Amino acid sequence: MRRLVPMALMGGALFLVISCASTPPQKPAQPETPPAAAPAPAPAVPAPDQELAQAKDLKAKVDAFSLGDYDPDDYAAANKDFQAGQDSYGKDNAASKKSLDSAITEYTAVLTKGGAAFLDKSQAQADASKKAADDLKASVAVKDDYAAANAVYQRALQEKAAVDIANASKDFDSARQQFDAVAATAKQKRDAAMQAMQSAQDQEAASQQAADNAEKALKDEGFPVPAAAQ
C-alpha cells in the first residue's frame, strides 16, 4: 500500500510536466491597427472676385471712349475671355480666373494702344483750333481768353503724357472749344477794324472826289482856283 502512494504521486507530477511541455506559451495580444485615414479633399478654388471686378472696371473704361475701335483684335479677344470668365464663375473657378486674367491683360492692351490713338485724335482737333486762333493773332487781340484756353491745352498735354485718358480728352475738348471762341472773337475784331479802315478810305476818296469836282467847276466858270485847293 505504501508503494502505491509514491507511485501515484510520481505519476501525477509526470503528467503535469508533460502537460506544461506540450502547451505553447500564450503570446501577448497585439493592438488593433486603425484603418488608414481617407485622403484630405483638395482645397476649393476661391471665386475670382477681384479679377472679375478688375475686368469689369477695365471694360467700362474701354467702352466709355470706344477704344475698341482703335484696337479691334485685342478688344474682341478681351470680350471673349471676359464672357468665358463670367460663364464659368462659381462652376469652375480655376478656369474662370484664367479667362479673367487673360481679359485683364487684353483690356489693358486696348487701353494702352487705343487710348494713345484716341488722345492723338483729340489733340489734333485742339491743335487745329489753336492754329486758327494763332493765325488771327488772337494771343494779342483776345489776350486773356487766349491765355485761358492755352492753359487748359497745356494741362491736357501733361495729362496725355500721364496716360490720363479721361482728363486729357476732356481738357483737349475744352481747349478746342475755347480756341474756337477766341478765334471767332479775334475774327470779329479784325473784320470790324478792316471795315472801319475801308470806310475811312472810302470817305477820303469821296472827299477827294468832291474837291476835284469843285475845282473843275471853278475852272469851268473861269474863276481862279484857290492855291490850297490845287
Q: What is the 3-state secondary structure (H, E, C) of the chain?
A: CCCHHHHHHHHHHHHHHHHHHHCCCCCCCCCCCCCCCCCCCCCCCCCCHHHHHHHHHHHHHHHHCCHHHCCHHHHHHHHHHHHHHHHHCCCCHHHHHHHHHHHHHHHHHHHHHHHHHHHHHHHHHHHHHHHHHHHCCHHHHCHHHHHHHHHHHHHHHHHHHCCCHHHHHHHHHHHHHHHHHHHHHHHHHHHHHHHHHHHHHHHHHHHHHHHHHHHHHHHHHCCCCCHHHC
pLDDT digits (tens, 9 = 90+) for 46-73: 999 999 999 999 999 999 999 999 999 9
Alpha-carbon Rg for the chain, nearest whole angstrom, is 52
d(CA 98, CA 88): 10
In this predicted structure, what is the pLDDT of residue 169?
Answer: 96
Query: Average pLDDT for consecutive 10-residue bins of the chain (230 residues)?
Result: 48 48 56 62 81 97 96 97 97 96 98 96 98 95 96 98 95 98 93 76 76 74 63
Cell output for 148: 485761358
CB 45 within 8 Å of CB 93: yes
Domain spans of the chain?
Answer: 49-181
Report the amino acid identity of residue 182: V
In this predicted structure, what is the pLDDT of residue 36?
Answer: 65
